[in-house]
Amino acid sequence: MAYLSFKDINKIYPNGFHAVHDFNLEIEQGEFIVFVGPSGCGKSTTLRMIAGLENISKGDFYINGKRANDIGPREREVAMVFQSYALYPHMSVYDNLAFGLSLQGVDEDIIEERVLNIAKILGLTDYLDRKPRALSGGQRQRVAVGRAIIRKVGIFLMDEPLSNLDAKQRVTMRSEITDIHRKVGATTIYVTHDQTEAMTMADRIVVMKDGYVQQIGTPYDLYFNPTNVFVAGFIGEPPMNLIRTSVKDGAVNVGGVSLPLDKVLSPEALASVEGKDVVFGFRPEAVSPGRSDDAFVMKGQVELTELLGDNTNVYVDMAEDKAILKVDPREAPEMDLEFEFSVPYKSVYIFDAETELAIGR
Ligand code: ATP
């Protein structure tokens, strides 16, 4: 059995709201797992069940092979960092870091050794005498992380720890947390609604929606092999273009152009979708301007362009369908012109419009 094991976990709140449905997951020791999904999808609820702050309504949760449903939060050997890092304002950084260990009655010299070590890992050595109010948001966040990891617990839980930081600090802290994880090696479960955080930090991502797990996989898996329309649209920025259409005589009509699907689906897969409604997907970054080999050639009217520096987002209107394309700024079209572009066959995704599940190739 894995280090953490979730078997058909459900959470039903006392008011009857079913927040988490049949959650199944195995986590190996030392993994960095990210729960991601829109607001209300049940990610914090699941994290709180792991911490022992919420009871599990149904199912079995195991830590290191031992059923943990009824083990209290203190005995679970977990440390948690919340959105609001709640440092003690009247205490120095040193005391904030030392406080938990002092409460446990750990020897002063051992506390000092650990505080200095953690401060070094987190780049806080020069700030140990300061009070939290004299620190930047990022430094405060590091103290909060330090306070959690100083306890040397096996499981480290973080609930949107970067949401109070500005965009630049978030990027820095993202790599710092990944780096700390590499150094400390504790099994980490990290909750966020930000797909970029999930993609850049996780060993594996759990995508949730409305209390249901949608897909579990590495960032690479989720990006290249999304199992359904939701994951396809959630992972990636700007999101994948998802155009509803129907299959007739082995082809779909997208933006007024007939696209033969035998280029992207096996004969069996193609037969399975004949006559059905499907969702035709391609990522904005998969397109290239003009015509290319082994690609569908489409065109649309340019409605808007957004120069972002490294690329330009081009919004096109293709008959009844709209799409966003990510192109090199030097090749970006002018507004209102017609723009021809290619979508490689290998970058096309087809989903069943009814079940929203990906059609295998
Ligand atoms: P967010 O990103 O907004 O924090 P989340 O994915 O973490 O969202 P949860 O906090 O896990 O979502 O909540 C999941 C669902 O359960 C939500 O619809 C929420 O309203 C509901 N919920 C949370 N706590 C309770 C509670 N104590 N009683 C009833 N329903 C609750």
pLDDT tens digits for 327-347? 999 999 999 999 999 999 999
- Taking phi over 0 as left and psi of -120 to 50 as alpha, with beta for the rest, 116 belongs to alpha
Phi/psi for 86 (5° steps) reads 40, 60
As a CATH number, domain 239-352 is 2.40.50.140
Q: Kindly report, residue by residue over 138-153, the tens digit of the pLDDT.
A: 888 889 888 888 887 8
How confident is residue 74, by pLDDT bands cut at 50, 70 and 90?
Answer: confident
Pocket flag, ligand 1, residue 104 (CB < 6 Å): no
Whether ligand 1 lies within 6 angstroms of the CB of 16 is answered as no
**Residue 18: pLDDT above 80?**
yes
Nearest protein CA to atom 9 of ligand 1, as residue: 42
What are the residue ranges spanned by the domains of the chain? 4-232, 239-352
Q: For residue 339, what are the contacts with CB-CB under 8 A and spacing of at least 6? A: 289, 299, 300, 301, 302, 314, 316, 325, 333
Q: How far is the CA of 60 from the centre of ligand 1 (A)?
A: 21
Pick the residue whose CA is nearest to atom 10 on ligand 1.
44
Q: For residue 84, is pLDDT > 70?
A: no
What tokens were used for 302? 């340019």
| Structure token digits, residue 205 | 């991502």
Listed residue (57, 52, 56) closest to 77, CA to CA: 52
* Average pLDDT estimate for 28-41: 96
In this prediction, residue 208 carries a pLDDT of 98
For the chain, state the CA radius of gyration: 24
pLDDT of residue 319: 81
- The whole-number average pLDDT for the span 104-109 is 91
Ligand 1 atom closest to the CA of 45, numbered from 1: 11
Q: Is the pLDDT of residue 169 over 80?
A: no
- Name the CATH superfamily for 4-232: P-loop containing nucleotide triphosphate hydrolases (3.40.50.300)
Q: Quote the ligand 1 centre to 252 CA distance (angstroms).
A: 40
- Provide the pLDDT for residue 242: 97
Lowest mean per-residue pLDDT among 42-46, 97-101, 278-282, 343-347: 97-101
Closest residue by Cα to atom 16, ligand 1, is 19
Confidence at 238, pLDDT banded by 50, 70, 90: very high
Ligand 1 atom index nearest CA of 35: 6
Among 2-11, 140-149, 255-264, 326-335, the minimum mean pLDDT is found in 140-149
Using H for helix, E for strand and C for coil, what is the string for 109-147? HHHHHHHHHHHHHHCCHHHCCCCHHHCCHHHHHHHHHHH
The span from the CA of 286 to the CA of 325, in Å, is: 8
Q: Please identify, by atom number, the ligand 1 atom nearest to the C-alpha of residue 11.
A: 16
The reported pLDDT for the residue numbered 142 is: 86
Q: Which residues contact 316 (CB under 8 A, 6 or more apart)?
A: 299, 300, 301, 302, 303, 322, 323, 324, 325, 339, 341
DSSP 8-state assignment for residue 333: P
How confident is the model over 194-228, as pLDDT tens digits?
999 999 999 999 999 999 999 999 999 999 999 99
Report the pLDDT averaged over residues 187-191. Answer: 96
Q: Both tokens of residue 307?
A: 């120069």
Q: Give the ligand 1 atom nearest the CA of 211.
A: 14
Give the chain's count of helices (H) and strands (E).
9, 20
How close is the Cα of 66 to the center of ligand 1, in Å? 27
Average pLDDT, the chain: 93
Q: Is the pTM of this model over 0.75?
A: yes
Q: Return the SS3 of 175.
A: helix
pLDDT > 90: percent of the chain: 78
Among residues 52, 4, 46, 29, which one has the least CA distance to residue 187?
29
pLDDT category of residue 233 using cuts at 50, 70 and 90? very high
Give the distance (Å) from ligand 1 centre to CA of residue 13: 9
